[in-house]
Amino acid sequence: MQLGWTGATGPHLDTTGGSFRRLAPRLEPGLLTIEHMAIQRMHHVGIVVDDLAAAMEFFVELGLELQGDGTVEGRWVDRIVGLDGVRVEFAMVQTPDGHGRLELVKFHEPSTQSGNRDAPANTPGIRHVAFVVEDIDAVVAGLRARGAELVGELVRYEDSYRICYVRGPEGIIVELAEQLG
């Protein structure tokens, strides 16, 4: 695979602080592509869970719609994920507008390694998923009644959004944002 830097003025060096470090090329917005391989759209984000039923319930209660569920196993899935003897249950949920999807996955085989379910929001890796909601107070109240907890506080960001992080099942952090005005 060869990278094509369309519209670039070339890489430049930062010599401040007495050291050289290579910086990304200066590009016009939207012009960095891999030749003949442009992404068309994001399909979904996968989240591995231990309790698939609880995760499904949480996201459906939040307003996502169940698109399908099932079990997969076999050599073909082993080859994709790079593990042997894979057997998983999954559920695909999507936002009401159909543009955002989550694949919730429970690995029955091979056994999973537990992570830190209470990892703070600044831990490296995929840390949260975000959704725009209509009435953030009602959504937060409904989720709290089902055991979800605020990670921090519900705050107003300038004149554009009210935002908070909620920790759901499996320690998944969900950002909720209500657009103002």
pLDDT single digits (tens) 42-93? 889 999 999 999 999 999 999 999 999 999 999 998 898 898 999 999 999 9
- Work out the pLDDT band at 13, boundaries 50, 70, 90: very low
Whether the predicted model's global pTM rises above the 0.85 cut: no
Alpha helices in 9-114 (DSSP H): 52-62, 75-81
Is residue 107 within 8 Å of 84, Cβ to Cβ?
Answer: no
Q: Which one, of 132, 125, 133, 86, lies nearest residue 107 by Cα?
A: 86
Task: Tell whether omega for the bond before 110 is within 30 degrees of 0, i.e. cis.
Answer: yes
DSSP class of residue 4?
A: E
Residue 138 has pLDDT above 90, yes or no: yes
Which H or E run includes 142?
A: helix 136-145
